[in-house]
Amino acid sequence: MRRLTERAVTLVLLIFAAACHGTPTSPSRSPALAARGEPFEVTGVVNDDAGRPLQAIPVTMRHWLGGLIQSPAALTDATGAYKIAFTANPWNEGSSGSAAARAELIADGYEWYYRTIYVTGPQLVENFRLHPLQRIAPGESVVFQMAPDDGLCVTELSWTLATVCRTARVTAQANGSMTVEAISQGDAGRPLVSVCCVSGSDRGGNPVTLPVTAATEFTVEVGLNGGFTTTQSVMVKTSFDP
Protein backbone atom coordinates (compact mmCIF):
# COMPACT_ATOMS: atom_id res chain seq x y z
CA MET A 1 0.00 0.00 0.00
CA ARG A 2 2.87 2.38 0.79
CA ARG A 3 4.40 1.87 -2.66
CA LEU A 4 0.99 2.45 -4.28
CA THR A 5 0.63 5.74 -2.40
CA GLU A 6 4.13 6.85 -3.43
CA ARG A 7 3.40 6.19 -7.09
CA ALA A 8 0.05 8.02 -6.94
CA VAL A 9 1.73 11.05 -5.38
CA THR A 10 4.54 10.95 -7.96
CA LEU A 11 2.05 10.79 -10.83
CA VAL A 12 0.27 13.88 -9.48
CA LEU A 13 3.62 15.68 -9.26
CA LEU A 14 4.45 14.70 -12.85
CA ILE A 15 1.16 16.13 -14.11
CA PHE A 16 1.74 19.28 -12.07
CA ALA A 17 5.27 19.66 -13.45
CA ALA A 18 4.06 19.15 -17.01
CA ALA A 19 1.42 21.85 -16.63
CA CYS A 20 3.90 24.25 -15.01
CA HIS A 21 6.37 23.88 -17.88
CA GLY A 22 3.66 24.20 -20.52
CA THR A 23 0.22 25.70 -20.59
CA PRO A 24 -2.92 23.82 -19.46
CA THR A 25 -4.80 25.16 -22.46
CA SER A 26 -3.87 26.70 -25.77
CA PRO A 27 -3.40 30.49 -25.70
CA SER A 28 -6.01 30.76 -28.44
CA ARG A 29 -8.72 29.38 -26.16
CA SER A 30 -10.80 31.78 -24.11
CA PRO A 31 -10.61 31.99 -20.28
CA ALA A 32 -14.25 30.88 -20.15
CA LEU A 33 -13.44 27.72 -22.11
CA ALA A 34 -10.48 27.02 -19.83
CA ALA A 35 -12.72 27.40 -16.78
CA ARG A 36 -15.32 24.90 -17.95
CA GLY A 37 -12.85 22.55 -19.63
CA GLU A 38 -13.16 20.42 -22.75
CA PRO A 39 -15.16 17.19 -22.99
CA PHE A 40 -13.36 13.94 -23.82
CA GLU A 41 -14.40 10.31 -24.10
CA VAL A 42 -11.72 7.61 -24.05
CA THR A 43 -12.53 4.05 -25.07
CA GLY A 44 -10.35 1.02 -25.63
CA VAL A 45 -9.44 -2.53 -24.67
CA VAL A 46 -7.05 -3.88 -22.03
CA ASN A 47 -5.25 -7.14 -22.88
CA ASP A 48 -2.44 -9.14 -21.34
CA ASP A 49 0.83 -9.67 -23.19
CA ALA A 50 -0.62 -12.76 -24.88
CA GLY A 51 -3.51 -10.74 -26.32
CA ARG A 52 -6.17 -12.08 -23.93
CA PRO A 53 -8.77 -9.54 -22.74
CA LEU A 54 -8.59 -8.64 -19.05
CA GLN A 55 -11.81 -8.19 -17.09
CA ALA A 56 -12.34 -5.96 -14.02
CA ILE A 57 -9.14 -3.96 -14.56
CA PRO A 58 -9.47 -0.41 -13.18
CA VAL A 59 -8.56 2.27 -15.74
CA THR A 60 -8.04 5.78 -14.33
CA MET A 61 -7.68 9.03 -16.29
CA ARG A 62 -5.92 11.65 -14.14
CA HIS A 63 -6.35 15.16 -15.53
CA TRP A 64 -6.55 18.86 -14.74
CA LEU A 65 -9.85 20.70 -14.31
CA GLY A 66 -10.03 24.17 -12.83
CA GLY A 67 -6.58 23.86 -11.27
CA LEU A 68 -7.38 20.58 -9.53
CA ILE A 69 -6.46 16.96 -10.31
CA GLN A 70 -9.45 14.76 -11.17
CA SER A 71 -9.30 10.93 -11.33
CA PRO A 72 -12.34 9.30 -12.99
CA ALA A 73 -12.07 5.53 -13.34
CA ALA A 74 -13.89 2.60 -14.99
CA LEU A 75 -13.59 -1.19 -14.88
CA THR A 76 -13.08 -3.26 -18.02
CA ASP A 77 -15.87 -5.65 -19.00
CA ALA A 78 -15.65 -9.32 -20.02
CA THR A 79 -14.19 -8.32 -23.41
CA GLY A 80 -11.56 -6.10 -21.80
CA ALA A 81 -13.33 -2.95 -23.00
CA TYR A 82 -13.71 0.29 -21.01
CA LYS A 83 -15.15 3.77 -21.54
CA ILE A 84 -14.45 6.94 -19.55
CA ALA A 85 -15.98 10.37 -20.20
CA PHE A 86 -14.55 13.43 -18.48
CA THR A 87 -14.01 17.18 -18.81
CA ALA A 88 -10.42 18.43 -18.64
CA ASN A 89 -8.08 21.36 -19.15
CA PRO A 90 -5.38 19.95 -21.49
CA TRP A 91 -1.76 20.86 -20.83
CA ASN A 92 1.12 21.40 -23.25
CA GLU A 93 3.87 18.76 -23.44
CA GLY A 94 6.07 20.60 -25.91
CA SER A 95 6.78 18.85 -29.20
CA SER A 96 4.69 15.85 -28.07
CA GLY A 97 1.51 17.92 -28.28
CA SER A 98 -1.40 18.68 -25.98
CA ALA A 99 -2.21 16.13 -23.26
CA ALA A 100 -5.72 15.44 -22.02
CA ALA A 101 -4.92 12.98 -19.21
CA ARG A 102 -2.52 10.42 -17.81
CA ALA A 103 -3.84 6.87 -17.97
CA GLU A 104 -3.16 4.78 -14.87
CA LEU A 105 -3.75 1.01 -14.62
CA ILE A 106 -2.95 -0.62 -11.29
CA ALA A 107 -4.16 -4.20 -10.87
CA ASP A 108 -3.12 -7.07 -8.61
CA GLY A 109 -0.81 -9.52 -10.34
CA TYR A 110 0.22 -7.12 -13.13
CA GLU A 111 2.89 -4.46 -13.59
CA TRP A 112 1.60 -0.93 -12.99
CA TYR A 113 1.06 0.98 -16.22
CA TYR A 114 1.05 4.71 -17.01
CA ARG A 115 0.68 6.59 -20.31
CA THR A 116 0.02 10.16 -21.40
CA ILE A 117 -3.18 10.52 -23.44
CA TYR A 118 -2.71 13.14 -26.16
CA VAL A 119 -5.46 15.26 -27.68
CA THR A 120 -6.43 14.31 -31.23
CA GLY A 121 -10.12 15.09 -30.83
CA PRO A 122 -12.97 14.66 -28.34
CA GLN A 123 -13.23 10.89 -29.04
CA LEU A 124 -10.00 9.02 -28.17
CA VAL A 125 -9.17 5.32 -28.54
CA GLU A 126 -6.44 4.00 -26.24
CA ASN A 127 -5.67 0.27 -25.89
CA PHE A 128 -3.39 -1.02 -23.14
CA ARG A 129 -1.28 -4.16 -22.76
CA LEU A 130 -0.46 -5.32 -19.23
CA HIS A 131 2.37 -7.66 -18.25
CA PRO A 132 2.02 -10.21 -15.44
CA LEU A 133 4.16 -9.14 -12.50
CA GLN A 134 7.27 -11.31 -12.16
CA ARG A 135 8.60 -12.15 -8.68
CA ILE A 136 12.09 -13.46 -8.07
CA ALA A 137 14.56 -13.99 -5.22
CA PRO A 138 18.09 -12.54 -4.97
CA GLY A 139 20.40 -14.60 -7.16
CA GLU A 140 17.73 -15.13 -9.82
CA SER A 141 17.28 -13.35 -13.16
CA VAL A 142 14.38 -12.21 -15.31
CA VAL A 143 14.19 -11.13 -18.97
CA PHE A 144 11.94 -8.26 -20.06
CA GLN A 145 10.74 -7.84 -23.64
CA MET A 146 10.42 -4.05 -23.65
CA ALA A 147 8.28 -2.45 -26.36
CA PRO A 148 7.72 1.21 -27.33
CA ASP A 149 4.11 1.01 -26.12
CA ASP A 150 5.03 -0.18 -22.62
CA GLY A 151 4.19 2.08 -19.69
CA LEU A 152 5.92 5.34 -18.81
CA CYS A 153 8.49 5.54 -16.04
CA VAL A 154 7.40 7.11 -12.77
CA THR A 155 9.19 7.66 -9.44
CA GLU A 156 13.01 7.79 -9.62
CA LEU A 157 13.49 7.04 -13.33
CA SER A 158 10.91 9.61 -14.45
CA TRP A 159 13.51 12.34 -13.82
CA THR A 160 16.14 10.70 -16.07
CA LEU A 161 16.27 10.10 -19.83
CA ALA A 162 14.39 6.81 -19.35
CA THR A 163 10.75 6.95 -20.44
CA VAL A 164 9.59 3.35 -20.95
CA CYS A 165 9.77 1.10 -17.87
CA ARG A 166 9.11 -2.44 -16.72
CA THR A 167 9.03 -3.70 -13.13
CA ALA A 168 9.65 -6.84 -11.09
CA ARG A 169 9.51 -7.65 -7.39
CA VAL A 170 12.44 -9.18 -5.50
CA THR A 171 11.98 -10.67 -2.02
CA ALA A 172 15.05 -11.14 0.14
CA GLN A 173 15.42 -14.59 1.74
CA ALA A 174 18.04 -13.52 4.31
CA ASN A 175 19.93 -10.51 5.59
CA GLY A 176 22.81 -9.40 3.39
CA SER A 177 23.64 -7.35 0.31
CA MET A 178 21.89 -7.53 -3.08
CA THR A 179 23.12 -6.25 -6.44
CA VAL A 180 20.75 -5.60 -9.36
CA GLU A 181 22.09 -5.15 -12.89
CA ALA A 182 20.19 -4.68 -16.18
CA ILE A 183 21.86 -5.76 -19.42
CA SER A 184 20.44 -4.76 -22.80
CA GLN A 185 20.50 -7.49 -25.41
CA GLY A 186 19.49 -5.12 -28.21
CA ASP A 187 20.46 -1.69 -29.55
CA ALA A 188 18.45 0.54 -27.20
CA GLY A 189 21.43 1.52 -25.07
CA ARG A 190 22.27 0.82 -21.44
CA PRO A 191 19.18 0.49 -19.24
CA LEU A 192 18.69 2.44 -16.04
CA VAL A 193 17.68 0.74 -12.80
CA SER A 194 15.81 1.98 -9.73
CA VAL A 195 15.16 -0.11 -6.61
CA CYS A 196 12.57 0.84 -4.02
CA CYS A 197 12.60 1.19 -1.19
CA VAL A 198 15.97 1.76 0.46
CA SER A 199 15.83 3.85 3.65
CA GLY A 200 12.46 5.15 2.52
CA SER A 201 13.42 6.15 -1.03
CA ASP A 202 14.53 4.84 -4.42
CA ARG A 203 18.14 4.02 -5.27
CA GLY A 204 19.13 4.38 -8.91
CA GLY A 205 22.01 3.39 -11.18
CA ASN A 206 23.18 0.29 -13.02
CA PRO A 207 24.22 -1.77 -11.21
CA VAL A 208 22.57 -0.97 -7.90
CA THR A 209 23.86 -2.51 -4.66
CA LEU A 210 21.86 -2.23 -1.46
CA PRO A 211 21.48 -3.84 1.97
CA VAL A 212 18.52 -6.22 2.32
CA THR A 213 16.65 -7.71 5.24
CA ALA A 214 15.01 -11.14 5.22
CA ALA A 215 11.38 -11.17 3.97
CA THR A 216 11.63 -7.59 2.64
CA GLU A 217 10.19 -7.05 -0.85
CA PHE A 218 11.78 -4.60 -3.26
CA THR A 219 10.39 -3.15 -6.50
CA VAL A 220 12.92 -3.09 -9.33
CA GLU A 221 12.14 -0.65 -12.14
CA VAL A 222 14.10 -0.91 -15.40
CA GLY A 223 13.94 1.95 -17.87
CA LEU A 224 14.94 2.58 -21.48
CA ASN A 225 14.99 5.75 -23.50
CA GLY A 226 11.78 6.02 -25.52
CA GLY A 227 13.60 6.55 -28.83
CA PHE A 228 13.67 2.85 -29.76
CA THR A 229 11.10 1.54 -32.28
CA THR A 230 11.33 -2.25 -31.91
CA THR A 231 10.98 -4.63 -28.98
CA GLN A 232 14.16 -4.81 -26.92
CA SER A 233 15.27 -7.68 -24.70
CA VAL A 234 16.70 -6.68 -21.31
CA MET A 235 18.04 -9.15 -18.74
CA VAL A 236 17.80 -8.19 -15.08
CA LYS A 237 20.37 -10.10 -13.00
CA THR A 238 20.43 -10.15 -9.22
CA SER A 239 23.13 -11.47 -6.91
CA PHE A 240 23.29 -11.89 -3.14
CA ASP A 241 26.08 -11.72 -0.59
CA PRO A 242 25.33 -12.74 3.02
Per-residue pLDDT of 55-97, as tens digits, reads 999 999 999 998 899 999 999 999 999 999 999 999 998 888 9
pLDDT of residue 136 exceeding 90: yes
Residues whose CB is less than 8 angstroms from the CB of residue 216 and which lie 6 or more positions away in sequence, other chains included: 171, 172
Report the C-alpha gap between 210 and 207 in whole angstroms: 10
In this prediction, residue 2 has a pLDDT band, given cuts at 50, 70 and 90, of very low
Which of 19-33, 49-63, 134-148 comes out lowest in average pLDDT?
A: 19-33
**Percent of the chain whose predicted confidence (pLDDT) is above 70:** 86
User: Residue ranges of the domains in the chain?
Assistant: 2-130, 134-241
Pick the CATH number of 134-241 from 3.20.20.140, 3.90.580.10, 2.60.120.380, 3.20.10.10: 2.60.120.380
* CATH placement of domain 2-130: 2.60.130.10
Q: Which amino acid is at 163?
A: T
Give, in order, the Cα–Cα distances in Å from 194 to each of 23, 171, 226.
Answer: 30, 15, 17
- Say what the pLDDT of residue 102 is: 96
Residue 51 has pLDDT above 80, yes or no: yes
